[in-house]
Amino acid sequence: MTKDLVLQLRYLGVLPHIGHREYRFQIEAHDKSIRTVALTIDDGLFRNHQLMFQEAPDLCYQKLLADIISEPTGAPICSRAPVTESEIASYRDSHPTAKSRRTAAKRREEREGGT
């Protein structure tokens, strides 16, 4: 499905589970067909990559948009998929504000640890 065929992409919310969080979206096509997609992020990825819970919905939204754009005809994206470490790194690279906050937090830690 190309981006031109998508009428709406809605964020439905987050469901916390033991070990991961699930971010749910609804895709509505121009033909009014609707499908739900759930993207999951392992709790360890939040800690290991200093990913804030507030950043996760946008990260998932951006991943889903990219998946929709590159979705081949006749082979729809999975209704459930994990967010990977490389996708988090790509998000960080393309969103300097998230990267800046992480860098600023590291600098604060270094200053506080050095006194």
Mean pLDDT value across residues 91-107? 68
Statement: residue 2 has pLDDT above 80: no
Higher pLDDT, 104 or 59: 59
Tokens of 87: 């996708």
Measure the CA–CA gap between 96 and 93, rounded to whole angstroms: 7
pLDDT digits (tens, 9 = 90+) for 4-26: 566 789 999 999 999 999 999 99
- Residue 48 φ/ψ region, left for φ over 0, alpha for ψ in the -120 to 50 degree band, beta for the rest: alpha
β partners of residue 29? 6
Going from N- to C-terminal start, the domains of the chain cover 3-113
Mean pLDDT value across residues 97-103? 59
Higher pLDDT, 98 or 40: 40
Statement: residue 99 has pLDDT above 60: no
Q: What is the pLDDT of residue 1?
A: 46
pLDDT digits (tens, 9 = 90+) for 31-61: 888 999 999 999 999 988 888 899 999 999 9
